[in-house]
């Protein structure tokens, strides 16, 4: 079982960036605990601030991995290119947000990528990633 976690722009600054919203932990310090929790799963991690690099990574893994956990950051609200990419892939993509985007500014309420995703998890802090992994393991790939 292989699952790819992908973080988009500014998520390399987790722990430093607006800690009141995104928490005090970096993703690098959160990830080992998540990997230890699922020893049967190869949990890969990738982060980029660049839209095209997120697409390259999804195209690279999306035909062979069992699922993608995607926090596209602000590209969530702007990127038709990410939506088209998600729709091109056979593997399920779960959209994740650390914060509850629906309780924040109105421009965060709209996601351009949700329509291509199997589901959306938002608002549970870094635990949102675990919930997304659970969703993939629970057979989110089934129609």
Binding site for ligand DQA (CB under 6 A): 10, 71, 73-74, 76, 97-99, 101, 108
CB of 36 to ligand DQA, least distance (A): 23
Residue 74 or 115: which CB sits closer to ligand DQA?
74
Minimum distance from residue 48 beta carbon to ligand DQA (Å): 13
Q: Which is nearer to ligand DQA, 57 or 97 (CB)?
A: 97
- Separation between Cα atoms, residue 93 and residue 68, nearest integer Å: 5
- Report the SS3 class of residue 95: strand
**Is 109 tagged catalytic?**
no
- Catalytic residue status for 97: yes
Beta strand ranges found along the chain (DSSP E): 2-7, 42-47, 67-71, 93-97, 119-122
What DSSP state is assigned to residue 10? T
Six-digit token string for 104: 């924040």
Q: What are the catalytic residues?
A: 22, 97
């Amino acid at each position: 079982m292989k699952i790819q976690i992908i973080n988009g722009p500014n998520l390399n600054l987790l722990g430093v960036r607006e800690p009141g919203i995104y928490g005090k932990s970096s993703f690098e310090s959160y990830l080992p605990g998540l990997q230890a929790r699922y020893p049967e799963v190869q949990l890969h991690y990738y982060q980029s601030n660049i839209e095209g690099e997120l697409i390259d990574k999804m195209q690279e893994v999306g035909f062979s991995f069992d699922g993608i956990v995607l926090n596209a950051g602000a590209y969530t609200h702007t990127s038709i290119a990410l939506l088209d990419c998600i729709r091109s892939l056979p593997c399920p993509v779960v959209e994740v947000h650390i914060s509850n985007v629906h309780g924040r500014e109105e421009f965060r309420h709209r996601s351009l990528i949700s329509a291509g995703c199997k589901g959306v998890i938002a608002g549970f802090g870094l635990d949102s990633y675990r919930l997304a992994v659970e969703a993939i393991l629970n057979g989110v790939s089934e129609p």
